[in-house]
Amino acid sequence: MSQRESDFKGGIQNGTTAFDAESKRLDVYLKETYKSLKEELTEFECVSQFTKEMKLKYVGDDCFGFAPDGGAWFKNGELVAVFEAKKQGEQGNAYERWWDNAITAKHLNENVKYITFCTGDGAAEGKCLDKLARKAKIMLGENFITHLKVEPFTEQEVRDIMIETLAGV
């Protein structure tokens, strides 16, 4: 059972998964684009997941995880951009899980560009991901940018947004 099903009560429970084909595809687009841009844009240091040493270096403790889908991008030793993906139906809690990486990124750099690709029925106007985008701007700032599309993003759209973001930092 996927949490995208209409009678699902929310949360990831035994026998369920947070992924469906569309969310997995978006995740792959971010990861593949991250890998190719990492090779092309050598002025950045990029990581897909913080090691224990990085946690200790940047925060002073290893009590958290930090593994954004499209990587954490550093320039001159400062976190400048993070890329995340969320596919959400009208039910589930993908938008709640988003906050952990977002707060960690803001802690590391108040001015980080935090880009989230949101898709699925929850990305429609007035739905949970739209509300997340509005709440993030209020609570975290204008540099927390959410791209909302009910229909799936293409790999080219993901790549273009990532390149445009990194060119501006």
pLDDT in tens, 44-55: 999 999 999 999
How are beta strands 72-75 and 45-47 bridged, if at all? antiparallel
Does residue 7 register a pLDDT over 50?
yes
Does residue 122 register a pLDDT over 90?
yes
pTM over 0.75: yes
Pairwise CA distance, residues 169 & 65, whole Å: 24
Phi-psi region of 27 (alpha: psi -120 to 50; beta: other; left: phi over 0): alpha
Which pLDDT does position 6 carry in this prediction?
A: 60
Which pLDDT does position 97 carry in this prediction?
A: 75
Average pLDDT over the chain, rounded to an integer: 89
Tokens at 159, concatenated: 């790549």
Pairwise CA distance, residues 127 & 149, whole Å: 12
Q: What amino acid occupies position 142? A: E
Q: What amino acid occupies position 24? A: K
Domain limits of the chain?
21-167
Question: Which CATH number does 21-167 carry?
Answer: 3.40.50
Q: What amino acid occupies position 132? A: L
